[in-house]
Amino acid sequence: MIKTFGRSHTSSRVIGRRSGVVLLLLYLAGVFASAHVAGRDHLSLDYDRASNVVAEVQSYIQRQDYSQALVKLEATSALRSVDMDYQFLYCMLKERVDEPMSQAKACFANVVNELSKNSATPCEANLNCVVADLMAEGDNSLKRKEHFLSLPASDAESEVHHYLLDDFERDRYLHMILP
C-alpha cells in the first residue's frame, strides 16, 4: 500500500487514474504532508506558509498549469533548500515548461549530488535519487536503478517501483507525472 495523507491506495488504483498520477507524484516527493525537516529548524521556515505554498503548487499541478507551479516554487527558494524532494519537483517542472535539456539535466544532477551527500539513505535506496539520476542520465543511473529494484519491498511497492523504472524513458516519465 502507498500512504498519502494518511490514506492507503493500492498501486493499481494510484497508477490507473488521472488523479492517481498526482497521488503518485505526492508519493514520489514523499514530503508534501510536511515541510519540516528534522535538524533544520535553524532555517525557520514557517510551516503554515510552506503548507500553503505546497497546496498551491499541488493545485496548479492538478490543473496542469505547470508554469504557475514553477513560479510558486521559484518564489519559495527556502522550501527547495530545506528539502531536496522539492528541488526534484522543481527540476521536473522546469523541464516540463521547456527548460533547455542541458539545464534540466544539471538540475537533476544537483539533486542527486545533494541527496547522495546529505541524506541518511544512500542514493541507491532512495527512489527520488534513483529517478533524479535517470533524469540526469548520470553515469551510475542504470546501476543504481538495478540495485534499487533488487532491494526488499512489499508487493505493492515493488509493483510501483517496477512500473516506474522498468524500461525507464525520461519523456514518458515526465509526462506520466506531469501530464
Type of residue at 155 = D
Q: Is the pLDDT of residue 153 over 90?
A: yes
Largest Cα–Cα distance in the chain?
Answer: 42
Q: Is the pLDDT of residue 24 over 60?
A: no
C-beta separation of 160 from 11 below 8 A? yes
Cell of 26: 505526492
pLDDT tens for 108-143 read: 999 999 999 877 889 999 999 999 999 999 999 999
Split at pLDDT 50, 70, 90, the class of 102 is very high
Split at pLDDT 50, 70, 90, the class of 82 is low
Percentage, residues of the chain above pLDDT 70 = 70
DSSP letters along 106-141, please? HHHHHHHHHHHHH-SS-GGG-HHHHHHHHHHT-TTH
Please tell me the distance from the alpha carbon of residue 179 to that of residue 174, in angstroms, as a whole number: 7
